[in-house]
Each structure stands twice: as C-alpha cells, then as structure tokens.
Amino acid sequence: MKNPRLYVVATPIGNKSDLSARAIKILQSVDLIACEDSRVSKKLLVQYDIDAKLVSYHKFNEKQRTEELKKVLDAGKTVALISDAGTPCISDPGRILVKELFESGVEITSIPGASALTTFLSQIPRCSEEFAFVGFLPRIKSQQQELLKKFSFIDTVFYESANRLLDTLQNIRECFGDSAKVAVARELTKIYEETVCDCIGNIIDYYEKNTLKGEVVVMLYALKISQEDDVVHEKVKLLSEQGYSAKDISVILHTLYGYNKNNVYKLALSSKQQ
C-alpha cells in the first residue's frame, strides 16, 4: 500500500507555463485529482500529458466530497487538489478538506505556485511589509464600507470582478475621500496584463475611459493620517462632540485604526480649540 497523502497543487492564473515541474510530476503520479470544474482543468492537464482520474470538488459539494476523499485516502491512495486557477484554499474551495484531513492525521503537502495574491503583491509599490487579505468583498455597499473601514489602518488586498470594480472604487471614494490610494492589477500573467496605482479619483477616471475586462486584484493602501485626511477629521470631530478628551481620542483611534497617536492628539486639540 502507498502512503496516502493529499497534495494541494497550485496551477497557473493565466500563463500556462507557470505550472511548476514539481506540480506536473505530482499531477502525473497521483491516483485521483479533485478539481473545481473538470472542463477547465482538462484543458491544462492535457497539455502536460496528465491522465489521472478527475473528481469534482467545488463549493457546492465540499462537505460531501470531503467524506468521499477521506475514504479514498484511507484506502492508501494519493489525491491532488487543484482549483480552476491559482492556489486552492485562497478564495477557492479546499479549506474544509484540508482542515478535516489535517485533524484526521492525513499527510498534506502543498505544491506552491501561482496565486493572484502573491503575484500582485510582488509587483506593486508597497511601503509596509504588512497587509490584510480579505478575499472577495461583500456585495452590499454598507457591508463593504464596514469591512474596509475595519482594515483602514493596513494595506488591504481584495479580489474583485471587472464588472463590479467601478462601483467598488466609487464606494471606496465615498467612504475614504479623494486622498485614498489604490493599486489595481488586471489579467496578471496574461497578454493584456496591466497594473495601475494612483489616488482613487485618477483610477476611477482611468477606468471610466478604458475597457475594463478580465480578472482583477485591488489593494486599498492604509489611510495616511494627515491634516487633510477627511476620515480622521470626521472621527476626531465625532468623538470630540461626545465629550472625549484629546488624549482619549488619540488612544481610541490608535487602538481601533492604528493611527499615529501624536498626530491624532494634535488634531483633537486643534479641533477642540476651534
């Protein structure tokens, strides 16, 4: 009997040559490949002479398939998990399977490769090592704003579809004002790959004039506190009106949003003197 093992295998996000040599070897050798959509995966697998048996594993059958795949692994077989593109479990199915198998003591090996998240992060200008990744944003405007506000102290990366991008950017402008800065990458690793990085107003202008198609990743940069920062002004004003002292306001806004305490303190003092 072979050693049962789950391989979590990253596949390309556009450029088919991004499938690693190790990924090819593993996909050629496993007993079974669990994939999201067999029509999508077959196109890739055929190019590399990979002829393994396929079984569907997608967000609508994750729980049931997890049980079935556990039985396959219990019988001593090897299984690879792939998604339509990129790394499984990153805004893609797989977490339920990995969690269950991990807890049951099954060996799991990740075969790293493309992900829109890491591809994006490694090619845009960044000032900080820290970032938050929130997957896809909620569709409802107020929930979207709530989530982005919660992370406004840190560079926040999210996935978006091209046809919702403009609405989302407008929502960001409404919430954080014109000084908000974003980076947007479209069609990473593909022929029409494009990355833009600017303040939200310019990016909206750009996409109002240019075709917006394909797959998109976005980063909303951490809000910078400055005298002109409308959002911080607004928060300071609200807390001031509630009777909080300048010191309390600086501690509250630092704790909640990571804003610089001294800057907030000065802002709160000046707003109290007005």
Which stretches of the chain bind ligand SAM, using CB under 6 A?
13-14, 83, 85-87, 90-92, 115-117, 159-161, 185-190, 215-217
CB of 263 to ligand SAM, least distance (A): 34
**Residue number of the CB atom closest to ligand SAM:** 86
- 3-state SS class at 60: coil
Q: Strand 5-9 vs strand 53-56: parallel, antiparallel, or unpaired?
A: unpaired
Q: How far is the CB of 164 from ligand SAM (least distance, A)?
A: 10
Whichever of 13 and 121 has its CB closer to ligand SAM, that residue is 13
Cα(12)–Cα(24) distance, rounded to whole angstroms? 12
Q: Identify which of 215, 217, 221 has the alpha carbon closest to the alpha carbon of residue 199.
A: 221
Angle at 168 between CA 197 and CA 166, to 5 degrees: 70
- Closest to 98 in 3D by CA, of 75, 74, 119, 70: 70
CB 234 within 8 A of CB 240: no
Nearer to ligand SAM, 173 or 186 (CB): 186
Q: How far apart are CA 21 and CA 23, in angstroms?
A: 5
Distance of CA 269 to the CA centre of its chain: 38
Min dist. Cβ of residue 224 to ligand SAM (A): 26
* DSSP β-ladder status, 181-186 and 215-220: antiparallel
Q: How far is the CB of 115 from ligand SAM (least distance, A)?
A: 3
CB of 150 to ligand SAM, least distance (A): 20
Nearer to ligand SAM, 106 or 116 (CB): 116
Q: Given the complex with ligand SAM, which of 33 and 185 has the nearer CB atom?
A: 185
Report d(CA 44, CA 46) in Å as an integer: 6
H or E element at residue 55: strand 53-56
Phi, psi at 194, each rounded to 5°: -155, 135
Give the residue with the Cβ less far from ligand SAM, 187 or 248: 187
> At what angle are helices 162-176 and 141-150 packed, to 10 degrees?
60
- The answer to whether 122 and 197 have CB atoms below 8 angstroms apart is no
Q: How far is the CB of 15 from ligand SAM (least distance, A)?
A: 8
Closest to ligand SAM by CB, 106 or 185: 185
Smallest separation (angstroms) from ligand SAM to the CB of 193: 7
Nearer to ligand SAM, 115 or 152 (CB): 115
